Amino acid sequence: MSEKIPLLIDTDPGVDDALALLMAFDSDAHDVVGLTIAAGNVGLGHTVRNALKLREVVGRPDVPVFPGCEGPLVHAPREDAAHVHGRDGFGDIGYPDPVGAATGEHAALAILRLSHEHAGRLLLVAPGPLTNLAPALRLDPTLPQRVARLVVMGGAVTGHGNITPVAEFNVGFDPESAHVVLSGFPDYDLADWEATIAHGFHHRRAEDWLAADSPRARFYEAISRQTRLWSEDRRGELWHSADALTMASGTGAGRRAGACRAAAGGGDRGRVGPRHDRCGLEPADRRSGQRPDPAALRSGPVRGPGTGRPGRSLTGCPGQPGSRSCAWGAEAARMPGSVPSTAQ
């Protein structure tokens, strides 16, 4: 048995998903055993194609790509995020068709099979809507018993969303699936939108990192260009990546556990809030971030640690999110290869 931690990623690539995947593939401690793909940032045809391209860029054609659900569990798809990520999800740069093809196994079934193959060891990181994980859980409610750790990007625990006043995109896209998953897993780590806003970094520094002379850096610079321009125009000098923060938490040493619920209807549709008293609201630990290293992109983005103490969500700064910058690396020791992210 490999000593590496088996890592399954349920995602909807997406520019910021791409950075999260680059981080995962670069981790020496983890073995990416599959990519289960949902619609979200853009349609399923694009997200599957983007996943295939990303595995080609990192030289891992052996990693299977499992297409999943084409839309939310119950309601018709809401507006996607093509205005942020490009119509194809990768900045509309017109990249050549990827080599290889996706498997014929549905993502939900692949999640269940891989949970048996790696029972008790599987790290499941979900940077996208939970549309694949929800049916997997409904098919087999014992799934959480075989998953060593679940890390979810979603929600706005203090009620400061990015698509409505209370909803973050992933949960807002499919709140019913989020409700199924967050209710069905007794323990998980939640990287919410407030935590993302609390961990921004400067655009000019990002441009310096992306100037590294490597195929990975050139590819990511190209696909993220539109997103970075959109982010700077609307959010100012700091750039944010929800999915990279989620992957940093998943592949790093620290963690926060949460127990939240997702509202599926009414005016609170898509809002994530506490279930009983277990979804804590504490400032993100500023020491969690990693000082970026421009050399990282020569081999590809790498990992950073998670944050905080057990029993809490990865929530952002207290009060109004964005009231201060908890920039990655502000109080951290330098760690070779750590990189930041892009806007959700």
Residue 97 included in any domain:
yes
Domain assignment of residue 169, yes or no: yes
Q: What is the CATH number of the domain that holds 113?
A: 3.90.245.10
Distances from the Cα of 252 to the Cαs of 29, 104, 140, 211, 340, in angstroms? 10, 32, 28, 26, 14
Q: Which residues contact 279 (CB under 8 A, 6 or more apart)?
A: 157, 190, 258, 259, 260, 273, 313
Q: Is residue 341 in some structural domain?
A: no
- What pLDDT, in 10s, does the model give residues 258-277? 434 444 444 555 555 544 33
Evaluated on CA atoms 137, 167, 174, 31, the torsion sign reads negative
Give pLDDT, residue 212: 87
Q: Residue 271: what pLDDT?
A: 54
Strand ordering across the sheet containing 122-126: 65-67, 30-37, 5-11, 122-126, 147-153, 189-191
Give the residues of the chain that fall short of pLDDT 70. Answer: 1-2, 77, 232-233, 253-344
Q: How many structural domains does the chain have?
A: 1
The span from the CA of 32 to the CA of 279, in Å, is: 29
Quote the domain boundaries for residue 174. 5-298
Identify whether 161 is part of a domain.
yes
The confidence score (pLDDT) of residue 325 equals 25
Does residue 333 sit within a domain?
A: no
Residue 270, pLDDT score: 53
Decide if 59 is inside a domain: yes
Answer yes or no: is 320 within a domain. Answer: no
Q: Does 332 reside within a domain?
A: no
pLDDT at 208: 85
Q: What is the pLDDT of residue 256?
A: 43
